[in-house]
Amino acid sequence: MALIVQKYGGTSVGDAERIKAVADRIIARIKGGDRLVVVVSAMGQTTDELIALAAEMTDEPEAREMDLLLSTGEIVTSTLLAMALKHSGQPALALSGAQAGIGTDQVYGRARILKLDPARVVRELDAGAVVIVAGFQGLTEEMEIATLGRGGSDTTAVALAVSLKAERCEIYTDVDGVYTADPRICPEASKLSEIGYEEMLELSTWGARVMHNRAIELAAVYGVPVYVSSSFNDEPGTLIHGGVAMEKANKVMGIAHDEDVARITVRGVPDRPGIAAHIFEPLGEGGISVDTIVQNASVERLTDLTFTVSRSQLDEAMAIIKPIGEEIKAGEVMADTHLAKVSLVGAGMTSGPGYAGRMFRTLFEAKINIELITTSEIRITCLIDEKDVPAAVKALHRAFELADAA
């Protein structure tokens, strides 16, 4: 009898019929002999709708109330699913994140799981129930409810799989696996039967929202296999694990894109030691994550500093950076939000030459301007105009011959 943690995303539990269909899938699985803990997301677009409702009340909702509000979305799904299961004769129990023993820090809106006490979950499992846990939330030491960030139910599921020593974590969503690019904008994308943690982490960090990147980080640290598949059919999905054959890993694996990009440029920054720390430390202290930083060569001891943040953090970042700009007597501080990132990911890119050149040539031939370039060992990212994203992804997919990659 294997212990499995499953997670069903928003579309998979989008309405009453879908929740009943998920209940049927769970029952079939239990009949097959497995024991299940099931993590659920909020129904359909509920989280977006709750955010929109809050915006009707105030421009600046308090983070505490915002998280308490958003946590209700997954609680609704968990209770309805437990009811559907019990109605069909399957013992089940719904738990909020707090009741399931998930402890987080108090960084509202992007809390991290600090500890997980699975005692209650284990007790209920031992009593024969399917335990349904509301995703995306936990309890802080101050007894406040905090949420894990958009897409965070994946992380709840992997954290539970780690703490329960489950055989694997299964993520059920509206696509039947991880593809070589987002199949919604690149119809030629092909499904990967497997992918290593490292490459999946890079893809999800750089925009492939099929998995929450923190879920992959956790899975990699503890070696939990994660299986991504559809809740709408029984097509084979993608296994994310640590044992991917070296040769297979040795090539371009996929393309990620991310439209959640805002660029900030500080012009005329005095070129002297300590200035970068002076600018970036306050951003870090303010909880702003900065991912791409470029400093131009200095002309007459003045440089331009450019970096990117997520669009949702742009206002906060500008509020921190503008006074610093004045203090260090820099020139203007400018922001723009029409950009997006396109990234090529593959473990083989360090060993094989020519990937960067081929990527830039492909974008050039598609008449797409590159605004900024960053790389890691296994990734090359170009910042481009967001309107060019579909064309860029398709052109790169073709140039790197990913249509028959799987």
Helix/strand/coil for 143: coil
Identify the DSSP state of 150: T
Which residues have CB under 8 Å from 378's CB, separation 6+?
198, 199, 202, 345, 346, 347, 349, 350
Candidates 151-159, 219-227, 252-260, 302-310 — which segment interacts with ligand ASP by CB under 6 A?
Answer: 151-159
Per-residue x/- track, 18-57, ligand ADP (CB under 6 A): -----------------------x----------------
* CB nearer to ligand ASP: pick between 78 and 306: 78
Residue 252 and residue 271: Cα distance in Å, rounded? 38
Q: Is 10 a residue that touches ligand ASP (CB under 6 A)?
A: yes
Binder among 6, 47, 229, 306 for ligand ASP (CB under 6 A) = 47
Q: In the bound complex, what is the minimum distance in angstroms from residue 21's beta carbon to ligand ASP?
A: 18
| 262 interacts with, out of ligand ADP, ligand ASP, Mg ion, none, CB within 5 to 8 A per kind | none
* CB nearer to ligand ADP: pick between 237 and 325: 237
* CB nearer to ligand ADP: pick between 149 and 183: 183
* Cβ neighbours around 59 below 10 Å, total: 6
Chain-centre distance of CA 379, in angstroms? 17
Candidates 149-157, 169-177, 310-318, 379-387 — which segment interacts with ligand ASP by CB under 6 A?
Answer: 149-157
Q: In the bound complex, what is the minimum distance in angstroms from residue 318's beta carbon to ligand ADP?
A: 28
**Amino acid making up residue 306:** T
* CB nearer to ligand ASP: pick between 47 and 213: 47
Residue 202 and residue 346: Cα distance in Å, rounded? 9
Applying CB under 6 A, what is the total number of residues that bind ligand ADP?
A: 19
Helix/strand/coil for 283: helix
Q: Is 153 a residue that touches ligand ASP (CB under 6 A)?
A: yes
Residues of this chain, 71-90, that bind ligand ASP according to CB under 6 A:
73
Q: Is 10 a residue that touches ligand ADP (CB under 6 A)?
A: yes
Q: Is 173 a residue that touches ligand ADP (CB under 6 A)?
A: yes
- Alpha helices in 239-387, H assignment, sequence order: 246-249, 275-285, 314-327, 355-365
* CB nearer to ligand ADP: pick between 123 and 184: 184
Helix/strand/coil for 366: coil
The per-residue b/e assignment along 36-56, b for 16 or more CB within 10 angstroms, e otherwise, is bbbbbbbbbebbeebeeebee
Q: Is 152 a residue that touches ligand ASP (CB under 6 A)?
A: yes
Binder among 118, 135, 207, 325 for ligand ASP (CB under 6 A) = 135
Residue 12 and residue 368: Cα distance in Å, rounded? 36
Q: Is 6 a residue that touches ligand ADP (CB under 6 A)?
A: no
Binder among 97, 237, 254, 346 for ligand ADP (CB under 6 A) = 254
Q: In the bound complex, what is the minimum distance in angstroms from residue 276's beta carbon to ligand ASP?
A: 33
Q: In the bound complex, what is the minimum distance in angstroms from residue 127's beta carbon to Mg ion?
A: 30
Which residues have CB under 8 Å from 282's CB, separation 6+?
320, 324
Under a CB-based contact definition with an 8 Å cutoff, are residues 214 and 148 in contact?
yes
Q: Is 11 a residue that touches ligand ADP (CB under 6 A)?
A: yes
- Residue with nearest beta carbon to ligand ADP: 9
Which residues have CB under 8 Å from 177's CB, separation 6+?
191, 192, 193, 228, 229, 230, 235, 236, 237, 238
Q: Is 150 a residue that touches ligand ASP (CB under 6 A)?
A: yes
Q: In the bound complex, what is the minimum distance in angstroms from residue 34's beta carbon to ligand ADP?
A: 21
Q: Is 182 a residue that touches ligand ADP (CB under 6 A)?
A: yes
Q: What is the dihedral of CA 161, 10, 32, 117, to 10 degrees?
A: 30
Burial of 390 (0-12, 13-18, 19+ CB in 10 A): middle
**Amino acid making up residue 173:** T
The contact set with ligand ASP (CB under 6 A) reads: 9-10, 41-42, 47, 73, 135-136, 150-153
The contact set with ligand ADP (CB under 6 A) reads: 9-12, 41, 151, 173-175, 178-179, 181-184, 208-210, 254
